[in-house]
Amino acid sequence: MTKTITDVICPFCGTLCDDIEVTVSDDGKKLLEVANACVIGTEKFLHSQSTDRVTKPRIRQEDGSWKTISYEEAADYTAKALAKAKKPLMYGWSSTNCEAQSVGNEIAEIAKACCDNTAAVCHGTTLIAVQDIGLPTCTLGEIKNRADRIIFWGCNPAHAHPRHMSRYSIFPRGFFTGKGQMSRKMIVVDPRCTDTARMADVHLQVEQGRDYELLNALRVAFKGEWLPDVVAGIPAEKIREAADLMKSGRFGIIFFGMGVTQSLSKNHNIDIAIAVTKDLNEYTKFSIMPMRGHYNVTGSGEVFAWQFGFPYSVDLTRGFARYNPGDSSSIDLLKRGEVDMMFTIGSDPGAHFPISAVRAIAKVDSVCIDPHITPTSGVSKLHVPVAFNGVECGGNCYRMDNVPIDCRKVVEPPEGMMTDLDFLTMVCTRLKKLKGAA
Amino acid sequence: MAEFIIKNGHVFDPVQGIKGDKKDICIKDGKIVDKVSGSAKVIDAKDKTVMAGAVEIHAHVAGPKVNLGRIYRPEDKLFSCTPTKGIERMGGGASIPTTFKTGYEYAKMGFAVAMEAAMPPLFSRHVHEEIRDTPIIDEGAFPVFGNNWFVLEYLKNQEIENTAAYCAWLLKVTKGYAIKVVNPGGTEAWGWGLNCLTVNDPVPYFDITPAEIIKGLIEANEYLGLPHSMHIHPNNLGNPGCYETTLDTLKIAAGIKPKNKFGREQVMHLTHTQFHSYGGTNWGDFESKAKEVTDFVNKNKNITIDTGNVTLDETTTMTADGPFEHHLTGLNHLKWANCDVELETAAGVVPYIYSPSISVCAIQWAIGLEIALMMKDPMRCYVTTDHPNAGPFTRYPRVYKWLMSEKARKAQIEAFKHKDKVLSQTAIGTLDREISLYELAQMTRAGPAKSLGLAAMCGGLKPGMDADVAIYNINPDKPIANPDDIEKAFSRCAAFFKSGVQVVSNGEIVNNGNKRTLWVNVKAKENPQVMRDINEKFVKYYSMTQANYEALGHHFVPNPYAIEVDATN
Amino acid sequence: MDTVTITMKNAPALYLEADTISPDAFAGKSAAQIAELPVFEGNNPSTLGKYFEVTGNAGATAADTRIVVKGDVKRVKYIGFRMTAGEIVIEGSADQYVGGWMKGGKITVRGNVDAFAATAMKGGEMVIEGNAGNYLGAAYRGDWRGMSGGKILVKGNAGSDVGMYMLGGEIVINGNCDVHVMTHAEGGRVIIRGNAASKLGGQMVEGDIYVFGSIDVMMPGFKPVDEVELTVDGTKAKFAHFIGDTGERHKKKKGVVVYGNLYKKI
């Protein structure tokens, strides 16, 4: 006999689909089938079943080989390394639940660490822009029910957020959008002709690195002011047509991704895209939303914010919270040689950071908490494998539109494996003893 | 649990009618008792003022828009973050403090209960996570109903029973406390960039008016017999001339009688009245209509209000009144955040500086104080700053100073750049009333507790009630030499007991208490139609499944305190 | 004016936060007292004297105090933080936040400075003889109140985001300047004697930008209006005049819309 669990949340991307159905063995120990998820999500669930998983903590020996140790020994090592460090960096948090993040924050507070999440390499620039100019946004259901103008700017949901268009943005028939796709106009802005761009009513093939200029030109066009003949490789006439198409909708939305957050102008691209959105609210209703990557990067920002006041790149080294990306951001800290201990959880900086930053990780005491073997675990001194969040344990997560959804446990982790929360709690207890904290 | 006896203090307790008499207060097992054993710890409150823990009826302290405020205002924390200190976690934020700082600051001022005034139901799990991380104080949260599609559709057909059944269901799944209404219909109109500025403006598509929504939700509230009444932020907030909309809103409550077992006497609570008491036709002839509004409320006993006092600070406005925040950013050009929430509500956030050099801000300051001073019954008028909208809650002691001292008010009026305008556009200069300590206890303890339906539990010092006891460094036997002493005394309690545990000593946190989440659990009649409607809306229109909607489990509500309501008859 | 000389003798293993290196903190103190001022290496509290040799006593007030910083302070942050008067001379290069939130006095840096120099500067003078990093004279994150007064001269090049949210004061860059100049500005002026990259004056409400060299790409929101003859920073020349950002909101003064100005030397 098998059983099917419904309303399961997919712990892959920020779309946080919550309609997954998972079939497990009767004893709840084996995950057999996944329905409704995209191929990446399905793989994420099935990956937990692989037979070559590391199930016990491993510490690097002098000769570079791994030695298996117990979770207790791993927690001892981690607590001591954190206690000793003058400037530890606790990075990641985006693929774990809010409860674990919360304990992690307590650890960071006691250790007086820098703490940061993966926004540092994706939508941190968005957060900087939001701090400069605000954010008119909405929940994804609003798009489904009202939106008739959909703009994808520097993102490619067809590949990166595979169910986004079918669940929320292009195809669904909502309350005021009974005709589904037929009731919507789709604009894609991308220098490449992506699969998403191929579906668009209008594709603005912007010159690489000139999004800021194009967005500026749209603002100028809204006001009917003078424009040069060509901006960012696009004729002024085409820009004016796109501006009119945006203005003529009843409810519009700009979705944007790393094509604009991490290319030239970074936060300024988002800043001015938000200004475009704000302008459009003088004519109609418009919103803007970042296509967040990791399934709970948003949650990490939320927990950081309510506990410390800042959404990422938080520096607690002086005993109180400070924030200034460029100074307190992970890549800068590592590249500049500012940290003497690296703690990674729920992310893979080894794969995503520039090589100069990864080299800095290899030079210091380092702990990597991750169910997988990753480039980060590869350069770390201690690797602590844990249960898969959202598969082998539950916990709260936040979708890209900040809607909280409580993940479900669908299958038991391998015998004896700890969750992030369990392990962090052990570390926290030990660290409190070492630091004599209350 | 420990026993305490607080001796020699001057007790102010409207619940028992004690007006500053010296009386011992005994605490045992978390409750106020008649007497304690000889082993009780003695707390000497000689020459001090003793009151019940204060009750916050309306503040924005937890949830998505509060956190959006934190996220997008790093400058609100620049150079002001506080370090970890003993059992206190680090804190930060002037107008939007972190959750830890929120709990500590309330406790240090002697607050036992705070109500989060606007919970978007879809985000209830977020609100509860923040409440969980706010130490010491008991908190509840009001889900917003005034723009909810279920409510709009049921009330279009005057289906009070179905509305009530839906309200009961939503309170349960969101672990909510009361029926909150914000800009009824106007926020749904904002879904299309529109608004409803009067109670008769039809809501686009839904074919219903704000007046019908308000009346229907009052009726549903009384049908269920909830502890609190319908709690409203009316249409047309913050505009010159808005007092007329306010009066139209208040009139809707006429003739409706409260029906509940909690001792609540009102059917409508009008919140942040200051923002709704404006006359004039533009910002040039802007004037106070506090008298018109309070005259009406004074005459109609089935209404309670809170003030929404402007504190003259740089702050962060945030409200489920989405169109208002869009309007505000057009006035001050500061960063605008907005979030429309599917089928339910919206919210906006904009920083704002209430500058004493700007005449409108000074007039707003005066209007808030006028309302409190013109209300005859302090049991029906509560002090709030609509935190953080008119100012941060940490400024309550300053507001108390202005209310309790004409001298302090006069000094502030003198300091305004446009003093003459304040005097010509408001009546603040003619009011010599000074709120007494007893009246303050009514306006901050017994009154709000009664309005919330918590009169049996908190807001007083009667044996059997929760032992929330605040001791302040004010000697009522002596005249107050300097009004600033009032502010200083109320800023930091000499001692504060929350549910019988001493949490504050000499203004410092000594215990993280045992905070609870207050929510209202309504046992309602089965209503298969409403359950079918809920199911259908989730399948068709929500972006998440119904099974994932409820705030369920220890990590959201670790220490619940459910107020049971039986609405099956 | 009394001079205090501090010389780096024990370089920090990580970076040093030394917001106490300012005439305001030094004022009225002897060399021995100055050596006891707090500094931080990461989360480790220490004293100035542990890293620096301190000679000379400070003047009675900040205005009477001159600080000379010698040795390698490339890993020292916050020199001149929030200073209100007096003088600092840094003989080499310094790290981030030099003169951050400064209100008065003068800072001279013989070498380079890293990012966030003169953040939210209100007054005083800063001379950087080498290059400046990103965010020179910009606002703190989220704040719409950037540099509002004072004068900055960079003899070398400057990084990106010069004068973001600038409200007043003047920044002169003798060399070249990276992207984004005076974004969101509502006043003040930036003079670039070398070349500018692109994205000048984006979302600018008010203020003036002068460029003597080339501009890689102009913002479409800057509209050419006329040519004017001006004397800028002592140089008289003919400039092409653009107004903008025409996509942004603008105030009206006496019924006339006030734009930001961009002048490019012809």
- On chain C, the residues whose CB falls within 8 A of the CB of A279 are 247
Q: Does A165 touch chain B (CB under 8 A)?
A: no
Q: Mind giving me the DSSP string for B253-281?
A: TTTPPP--SS----SEEE--GGGG-EESS
CB burial of C91-115 (b: ≥16 within 10 Å; e: otherwise) equals: bbbbbbbbbbbbbbbbbbbebbbbb
CB B188 within 8 A of CB B206: yes
- On chain B, the residues whose CB falls within 8 A of the CB of C142 are 72-76, 335
- On chain B, the residues whose CB falls within 8 A of the CB of A305 are 67, 70-71
State whether C179 and A264 contact (CB < 8 Å): yes
State whether A338 and C179 contact (CB < 8 Å): no
Residue A222 lies in a domain: yes
**Short-list C203, C196, C194, CA closest to C222:** C203
Read off the pLDDT of residues C9-44 as tens digits, 9 standing for 90 and up.
999 999 999 999 999 999 999 999 999 999 999 999
Which helix (H) or strand (E) segment holds residue C52: the answer is: strand C52-55
Q: Mind giving me the DSSP string for B486-497?
A: HHHHHHS-SEEE
The token pair at B181 is: 């209404």
Q: Does C202 touch chain A (CB under 8 A)?
A: yes
Residue A60: alpha-carbon gap to chain centroid: 29
Looking at the structure, tell me whether residues A198 and A259 fall in a common domain: yes
- On chain C, the residues whose CB falls within 8 A of the CB of B78 are 140, 143
Q: Where are the domains of chain B?
A: 3-51+458-509, 52-451
State whether A225 and C115 contact (CB < 8 Å): no
Interface B-C, measured as beta-carbon pairs within 8 A, has a size of 17
- On chain C, the residues whose CB falls within 8 A of the CB of B74 are 140-143
- On chain A, the residues whose CB falls within 8 A of the CB of B337 are 130, 134-137
A128 pLDDT above the threshold of 60 = yes
What pLDDT is attached to residue A438?
57
Q: What does the angle CA A326 – CA A329 – CA A333 come to, to the nearest 5 degrees?
A: 90
Q: Where are the alpha helices (DSSP H) in A263-315?
A: 267-280, 297-308
Q: Does C57 touch chain A (CB under 8 A)?
A: no
Looking at the structure, tell me whether residues A334 and A381 fall in a common domain: yes
- On chain B, the residues whose CB falls within 8 A of the CB of C140 are 74-75, 78
Extract the residue ranges of chain B whose pLDDT is less than 70. Answer: 1
- Phi and psi angles of residue B231, each rounded to the nearest 5 degrees, phi first: -115, 115
CATH topology of domain B3-51+458-509: Urease, subunit C; domain 1 (2.30.40)
Residue type, A368: C
Find residues 303-332 of chain A whose CB sits inside 8 Å of chain C. Answer: 316-319, 323-327
Q: Does C222 touch chain A (CB under 8 A)?
A: no
Name the neighbours of B, counting chains with at least 3 Cβ pairs within 8 A.
A, C
Of C142, C144, C249, nearest to B74 by CB-CB distance is: C142
Q: Is C116 helix (H, G, I), strand (E, B) or coil?
A: coil
Residue B521 is given by DSSP the state: E
Q: Is A157 helix (H, G, I), strand (E, B) or coil?
A: helix
Mutate which: C116, C119, C144, vs B, most B CBs within 10 A: C144
CA distance linking residue B102 with residue B396, whole number of Å: 13
CA distance linking residue B436 with residue A88, whole number of Å: 54
Mutate which: A96, A307, A313, A410, vs B, most B CBs within 10 A: A307
CA distance linking residue B120 with residue C28, whole number of Å: 56
Query: Considering A290, A325, A355, which residue would you say is the last residue of a domain?
Result: A290
**How many Cβ atoms from other residues are within 10 Å of residue A398's Cβ?**
27
Residue B390 is given by DSSP the state: S
State whether B78 and C143 contact (CB < 8 Å): yes
Residue B317: alpha-carbon gap to chain centroid: 14
Q: What is the pTM of this model?
A: 0.97
| Four-way CATH pick for B52-451: 3.20.20.140, 3.10.100.10, 3.20.20.70, 3.40.640.10 | 3.20.20.140
Find residues 200-239 of chain A whose CB sits inside 8 Å of chain B. Answer: none
State whether B73 and C140 contact (CB < 8 Å): no
CA distance linking residue B174 with residue C200, whole number of Å: 49
State whether A127 and B542 contact (CB < 8 Å): no
Q: Does C15 touch chain A (CB under 8 A)?
A: yes
The token pair at C127 is: 């001379």
Of A131, A225, A272, nearest to C142 by CB-CB distance is: A131
Residue A400 lies in a domain: yes
Looking at the structure, tell me whether residues A182 and A244 fall in a common domain: yes
- On chain C, the residues whose CB falls within 8 A of the CB of A119 are none
Closest chain B residue by Cα to residue A129 = B72
Closest chain B residue by Cα to residue A304 = B71
- On chain B, the residues whose CB falls within 8 A of the CB of A281 are 193, 326
Residue A13 is given by DSSP the state: B
Find residues 40-79 of chain B whose CB sits inside 8 Å of chain C. Answer: 72-76, 78
Read off the pLDDT of residues C204-242 as tens digits, 9 standing for 90 and up.
999 999 999 999 999 999 999 999 999 999 999 999 999
State whether A326 and C134 contact (CB < 8 Å): yes
State whether B74 and C144 contact (CB < 8 Å): no
CB-facing half-sphere around the CA of A375: CA atoms within 13 A: 13
- On chain A, the residues whose CB falls within 8 A of the CB of B86 are 438
What is the Cα gyration radius of chain C?
A: 20
What pLDDT is attached to residue A335?
97
What pLDDT is attached to residue B22?
97
CB A396 within 8 A of CB A413: no
State whether A227 and C220 contact (CB < 8 Å): yes
How many angstroms separate the CA of residue B15 from the nearest CA in chain A? 36
CA distance linking residue C219 with residue A228, whole number of Å: 9
State whether C143 and B335 contact (CB < 8 Å): no
- On chain C, the residues whose CB falls within 8 A of the CB of A275 are 203, 247-248
Of B192, B349, B540, nearest to A250 by CB-CB distance is: B192
C243 pLDDT above the threshold of 70 = yes
Three-class DSSP labels, C216-256: EECCCCCEEEEEEEEEECCEEEEEEEEEECCCCCCCEECCE
Residue A155 to residues A97, A183, A190, A257, B146, Cα–Cα distance (Å)? 25, 22, 8, 4, 36
Residue A235 to residues A241, A404, B268, Cα–Cα distance (Å)? 10, 42, 58
How many angstroms separate the CA of residue B284 from the nearest CA in chain A? 24
Mutate which: A10, A21, A320, vs B, most B CBs within 10 A: A320
Q: Does B254 touch chain C (CB under 8 A)?
A: no
Closest chain A residue by Cα to residue C179 = A265
Which residues touch B310 (CB under 8 Å, ≥6 apart)? Answer: B274, B354, B361, B364, B365, B367, B368, B385, B390, B391
CB burial of B25-59 (b: ≥16 within 10 Å; e: otherwise) equals: bbbbebbbbeebeeebeebebeebbbbbbbbbbbb
Q: Which domain holds residue A108?
A: 58-120+295-435
Residue A241 lies in a domain: yes
CA distance linking residue A156 with residue A152, whole number of Å: 8
The two counts, helices (H) then strands (E), for chain B are 18, 26
What pLDDT is attached to residue B373?
98
CA distance linking residue A59 with residue A76, whole number of Å: 12
Of C43, C97, C115, nearest to A87 by CB-CB distance is: C43
**Short-list B168, B111, B180, CA closest to B141:** B180
Q: Mind giving me the DSSP string for A29-71?
A: --EEEEESS-HHHHHHHHHTT-TT---S-EEE-TTS-EEE--H
What pLDDT is attached to residue B554?
83
C73 pLDDT above the threshold of 60 = yes
Q: Does C183 touch chain A (CB under 8 A)?
A: yes
CA distance linking residue A362 with residue C112, whole number of Å: 29
State whether B75 and C140 contact (CB < 8 Å): yes
CA distance linking residue A119 with residue A129, whole number of Å: 13
**Short-list B214, B216, B194, B217, CA closest to B204:** B194
Interface A-C, measured as beta-carbon pairs within 8 A, has a size of 112
Q: Is B113 helix (H, G, I), strand (E, B) or coil?
A: strand
The token pair at C241 is: 């005049």
Of A139, A146, A301, nearest to B71 by CB-CB distance is: A301
Closest chain C residue by Cα to residue B333 = C249
Looking at the structure, tell me whether residues A11 and A107 fall in a common domain: no
Residue type, B490: F
Closest chain B residue by Cα to residue A401 = B339
Identify the band that residue A434 occupies on the pLDDT scale cut at 50, 70 and 90. very high
Residue B566 to residues B224, B261, B456, Cα–Cα distance (Å)? 8, 10, 17
CB A267 within 8 A of CB A129: yes
Residue A53 lies in a domain: no
The two counts, helices (H) then strands (E), for chain A are 18, 22
Which residues touch B275 (CB under 8 Å, ≥6 apart)? Answer: B237, B238, B242, B308, B386, B389, B390
Find residues 354-373 of chain A whose CB sits inside 8 Å of chain B. Answer: none
Residue A394 lies in a domain: yes
Which helix (H) or strand (E) segment holds residue A129: the answer is: helix A124-133
Which helix (H) or strand (E) segment holds residue B399: the answer is: helix B396-404
What pLDDT is attached to residue B555?
87
State whether A136 and B336 contact (CB < 8 Å): yes
- On chain A, the residues whose CB falls within 8 A of the CB of B135 are none
Which helix (H) or strand (E) segment holds residue B131: the answer is: helix B124-132
